[in-house]
Chains A and B, each alone.
Chain A
């Protein structure tokens, strides 16, 4: 069935460094790829999304890239700050959203 693999499961960076989280998906018909940030005990919040007709999208310190041929997409966070510490989920829309397992990002001051 449809599957989304997310790596790494945990990521620790120093404040100011960049962080990259990668996801691969199995259904080539997927056309929408959102990224969510979830702080402890709270709801997931959409931080950025991309559609299959574009290869890259940026929003300030956050960017997402999509490679349809390879069926993978990545989240890039530059100039990380302690408040970026959270769990990040990728997802692929196959008619319903399939979520990755999540990446716990820790930004050390």
Chain B
């Protein structure tokens, strides 16, 4: 888990603003994921990427965008089209080496809309 960093830890956004959440990993993992967690709820998949320059929508992609230009980085942009973005955002990575699909999570970013 220490090989995955997310920044910032807390983020405040005004309505109508786009904000970008950072996720970096030094684990040499191929796949990266973004989840959203609302209070008292489970984790919902926003976007995921299995290789550089390729990504797929998850269950709640509307209002979000991503890029995967480098293996180590998978930033998430929360756009003004996301009407209720206040949540805890978690980035995760997976390595398929040795047949494990274990996902490791970063420390998260708590986004609040003012």
Residues of A within 8 A of B (CB): 6, 32, 34, 42-46, 49, 89, 93, 96-97, 99-102
Size of interface on B: residues with Cβ below 8 Å to A: 19
Contact of B42 among A45, A96, A100 (CB under 8 A): A100
Contact of A34 among B40, B42, B103 (CB under 8 A): B103
A42/B45 contact (C-beta < 8 A), A49-B102, A93-B101 known = no
The yes or no answer to B111 lying at the interface (CB within 8 A) is no
A102 B104 Cβ-Cβ under 8 A: no
Give the complex CA separation of A44 and B43 in angstroms.
10
Give the complex CA separation of A44 and B106 in angstroms.
9
A43/B102 contact (C-beta < 8 A), A99-B43, A101-B41 known = no
Contact of B58 among A32, A96, A100 (CB under 8 A): A96
B101 to A: closest C-beta gap in Å: 5
The yes or no answer to B1 lying at the interface (CB within 8 A) is yes
B108 A97 Cβ-Cβ under 8 A: no
> Which residue on B lies nearest to A45, using beta carbons?
B1
Residues of B within 8 A of A (CB): 1, 33, 40-45, 48, 58, 90, 101-108
A44 B105 Cβ-Cβ under 8 A: yes
B48 A96 Cβ-Cβ under 8 A: yes
Give the complex CA separation of A101 and B37 in angstroms.
10
B103 A97 Cβ-Cβ under 8 A: yes
A46/B108 contact (C-beta < 8 A), A96-B45, A102-B42 known = no
B41 A102 Cβ-Cβ under 8 A: yes
Q: List A contacts of B90 (CB < 8 A).
A: 43-44
Q: Name the 4 nearest CB pairs between A and B, nearest first.
A: A43-B105, A99-B42, A101-B42, A99-B43
A43/B107 contact (C-beta < 8 A), A32-B101, A34-B102, A96-B58 known = yes
Give the complex CA separation of A96 and B35 in angstroms.
12
A42 B107 Cβ-Cβ under 8 A: yes
Q: List A contacts of B44 (CB < 8 A).
A: 99
Q: List A contacts of B107 (CB < 8 A).
A: 42-43
